[in-house]
Structure 1
Amino acid sequence: MQLSWDDLTIDISAIDTSVLFHNWQWLIGKDKHVMMITSLGDAFLQDIKGYIFWLDVAQGQMHLIADSYDTFQLHLQKTVHIDEWFSPELISELKQQGLHLAPQQIYAHQTPVLLGGKSTLTNVKPADIMLHFQTMGLICQQVKNITTGTQVNGASLCDN
C-alpha cells in the first residue's frame, strides 16, 4: 500500500497543542512548540534555538534529532528515519485491516508499551489524541523512575 504524509501524520491545525502537551512539561519543558504529530502519537518539537526533538511517547523519552529545520528536512528524506519515527509498515497494515483515523485521532497502544504492551495489530487501535497525550504523559511521568523488571499492572487507553 502506498502511503502519503497524510497517512503518517495528523492534521494539528484544530488542536490546542498547549493543552495537549500539558502533562509532558516535566520532560519537554515550556520552550518548545509542536511541528508535527505522527499517526502513531509521537511528536516533533522545536525549541527557541531551532533544535528539533522527537518525543517518543510510547517510551516516554525525548531525543534531540536535528540542530535545525533544514537538517530535520534532510533526515526526513532517509528511509531509516522514516521507518523509526513513522512506522509506515505498521500504518499500512492497520489501514489494510480497515482501521482508519477520524479527525483528532491517532493510533495508540491499547496497553502502553511501558506497561508491557506490544506494537502488534491487535494492540494498536484508533484513539482520541487528547486522551492519548494526556494519559501517556501521566503514565510516563509516574514510571520514569521505576527500575527495570518491576511488575506494573496494565492500563487500556482505547475503547476496543
Structure 2
Amino acid sequence: MSITWNDLTVNIERLDKDGLISDWRWLVGDAAQPILLSSTGDAYLQERNGEIFLLSTGDGSYEKVADSYEDFRNKLRDTNLVNECFLAATVAQLKEEGFVLKPGMLYSFKKLPVLGGDYAAENFELMDIEVHFSITGQIHSQIKDIPAGEAIQLSAEWLE
C-alpha cells in the first residue's frame, strides 16, 4: 500500500494552535507554536528564534530537530528519516486494517510507550486531535518527576 505525505500528517489549519498544546506548556514554554503534526500524534513546534523542536507525545520528550524552518524542510527530503520519524510502516498497516483518518482525527496510543505501550499498529486507535494532545500532556505532566523504572499507580478515574 502506498503512503502519501497526507497519510503521515494531519491538517492543522482550522485548529486552535495555542489551545492544542496548552497541556504541554509546562514542557515547551509559551513561545513554541505547532507547525506540523504527524498522523501518529507527535508535533513539530517552532520557537521564536526559528528553531524547530519535536514534541514526542509517546515518551514526553521535546528535542531540537532543526536550526530553522528551511533546515527542517531540507531534512524532510530524506525518505529514510521521514519513514522513521513519521512511523510510515505503522501508518501503512493501520490503513490496511481499515483505520482511515477523518478530519480532526489522528492515530493515538492506546497505552503510552512511557507507560509500557509500544509503537506497533496494535497500540494505536483513532482519536480527536485536541483530546490526544490534552490527555497525553496531562499524563506526562503528572508523571514527569517519577524516576525511570519506578512503578506508577494509576487511579480508577484514569481508566474511565
TM-score of the pair, normalised by structure 1: 0.92
Q: Secondary structure at the match of 2:54?
A: strand
Deviations 1:129-153 (A, max 9, x none): 1111001001111111111221225
* Deviation larger for 43-52 or 113-122: 113-122
Deviations 1:49-86 (A, max 9, x none): 11011111111011101111111111101133213320
State the match for 1:18 in structure 2. 18
1:35 aligns with 2:48: no
1:88 aligns with 2:76: no
Report the AA paired with residue 128 of structure 1.
Answer: D
State the match for 1:130 in structure 2. 130
Within 5 Å, give how 1:6-85 maps onto structure 2: 6-85=6-85
Report the AA paired with residue 101 of structure 2.
Answer: L
Report the AA paired with residue 56 of structure 1.
Answer: S
Deviations 1:7-36 (A, max 9, x none): 000011111111111110011111111110
Output the aligned Cα RMSD.
1.5
Distance 2:133 2:77 in 1: 27
State the match for 1:3 in structure 2. 3
- Are 1:53 and 1:63, in contact at CA under 8 Å, matched by a contact in 2? yes
TM-score of the pair, normalised by structure 2: 0.92
- Are 2:91 and 2:121, in contact at CA under 8 Å, matched by a contact in 1? no
- Are 1:115 and 1:153, in contact at CA under 8 Å, matched by a contact in 2? no
Distance 1:146 1:2 in 2: 41
Distance 1:118 1:37 in 2: 19
- Are 2:108 and 2:126, in contact at CA under 8 Å, matched by a contact in 1? yes
Distance 1:44 1:9 in 2: 11
Distance 2:118 2:12 in 1: 26
Q: Which runs of 5+ in 2 are unaligned?
A: none
Q: Percent identity?
A: 33
Q: Which runs of 5+ in 1 are unaligned?
A: none
1:150 aligns with 2:127: no
Distance 1:25 1:103 in 2: 25
- Are 1:106 and 1:127, in contact at CA under 8 Å, matched by a contact in 2? yes
